[in-house]
Amino acid sequence: MNGRKILIGISGGIAAYKVCEVVSTLAKAGTQVRVILTDAAQEFITPLSLATLSRHPAYTDRDFWQPTHSRPLHIELGEWAEILVIAPLTANTLAKLAGGLADNLLTNTVLASRCPILLAPAMNTDMWEQLAVQRNWQQVLTDERFCGIQPSSGILACDRVGAGRMAEPSEILAHIESLLHTGGKRDLKGKRVLISAGGTREHLDPVRFIGNPSSGKMGIALAVAALHRGAAVTLVHTMDEALLPRGVVRAIAVVSAEEMREAMLSCFPEADVTVMAAAVADVRPRDSVSEKLPKRSLPSSLALEVVPDILAELGSLKQAGQKLIGFAAQTGDIVKPALEKLERKKLDAIAANPIDKIGAGFNSDTNQAILINSHGKQVEVLPCSKLEMAHRLYDFVLGE
């Protein structure tokens, strides 16, 4: 993100206050942020607030009509930006985009730019559901330059409960990161991607289990990256439903390795790309009970049995045209065991993770890996966000 050029356009809506967090987060990450406010936006938030957060003067229509620039301001901004974000996008500004109108600095800059444009609508539910608004929304999205984040449902400023709530800053920021990486390409459009995420739990009784510290963050990042690249995503997971990204076609919650096995085997035949990112247990208690064992009744030794290898089973079922990717969390030499796993399980690619390094193990927000494919090609991915890692993995697999 450091040094990248992001232009934020704010139109008139109460959700404008959320954009402050987006601007602040981007500026703190080292991006160059410029902000345009429409006249209506200034009724909700001031140019001074955005200038302070972005570390640069915010632009308004007053700047647009003043001859204080060597070149027209909308041309300079349109050529400067790598990504243009419009949030909140009102019904009025959406209609202007759909019709190619340009009557203010923001809409003129849209027409003067060639970069990807991210749209985050926000409005009352009845407004959002109007036929004209939906027609404009669909029309705008036919232009491949535009990427839309559907509004979510919830309590709106008008006290209405329904669709129209602008996407949260974290979701907007994730889209920005993806667009900076992909440039807006949707190379998974029309593809079905199956992903497993999280760590399984093999219960001895309702409160005791054999598990691992996997948070599922890598699997979630893989799902988000696939969604941003146009895929229809099925996610088999062990996490809280509130942590799942919006837009997943199907989310299947599981707990144990056997439940994950059943879900993955059920969904696998329809998948074009399968990524097994979950940390699945290798063993489970041979005997388990449905009621909590008293402490005095706990066994002094625990009999274990091997859990079926889901990834190997998927590899044996893989058909021509399907891609199967695995992860190998290792300490010490990460390449040799990953190569063995790649061949034995008939994978197309594997990501070898050094979990003994800071920022690359379980439950971290960053990751690093050596990516290896079935042809022997190896690519090192240095420490980066897990979303960046997900995109690098798809680049590696799709670019074979």
pTM summary value: 0.94
Burial of 158 (0-12, 13-18, 19+ CB in 10 A): middle
DSSP reduced 3-state for 385? strand
| Arithmetic mean of pLDDT, 361-382 | 92
Q: Which of 20, 115, 158, 384 is catalytic?
A: 158
Largest CA distance in the chain: 84
Give yes or no for residue 69 having a pLDDT over 70: no
pLDDT of residue 330: 87
Residue with token string 């099925």: 234
pLDDT digits (tens, 9 = 90+) for 227-237: 999 999 999 99
* 352-356 mean pLDDT: 91
Give all domains of the chain, ordered by start, each with its CATH number.
Answer: 5-182 (3.40.50.1950), 192-398 (3.40.50.10300)
Distance, CA of 196 to CA of 274 (rounded, Å): 8
Q: Which among 272, 76, 288 has a CA at the least distance from the CA of 201?
A: 288
Residue 223: closest CA among 273, 287, 181, 265:
273
The confidence score (pLDDT) of residue 243 equals 92
Amino acid present at 199: G
Q: Write the pLDDT tens digit of every residue in 148-184.
A: 999 999 888 888 888 999 999 999 999 999 999 999 9
Q: What percent of the chain has pLDDT over 70?
A: 99
Per-residue confidence (pLDDT) for residue 257, from 0 to 100? 96
> Does residue 272 have a pLDDT over 90?
yes
Residue closest to 389 by CA, chosen among 359, 370, 367: 367
Q: Which two tokens stand for residue 233?
A: 């995503």
> Which distant-in-sequence residues (6+ apart) come within 8 Å of 278 by Cβ?
196, 197, 198, 199, 200, 214, 216, 219, 236, 237, 238, 260
Per the prediction, the chain carries an average pLDDT of: 94
Q: Which of 81, 85, 148, 142 is nearest to 115 (CA)?
A: 81
State mean pLDDT over 67-94: 92
- Strand pairing category for 366-373 and 161-165: unpaired
158 is an active site residue? yes
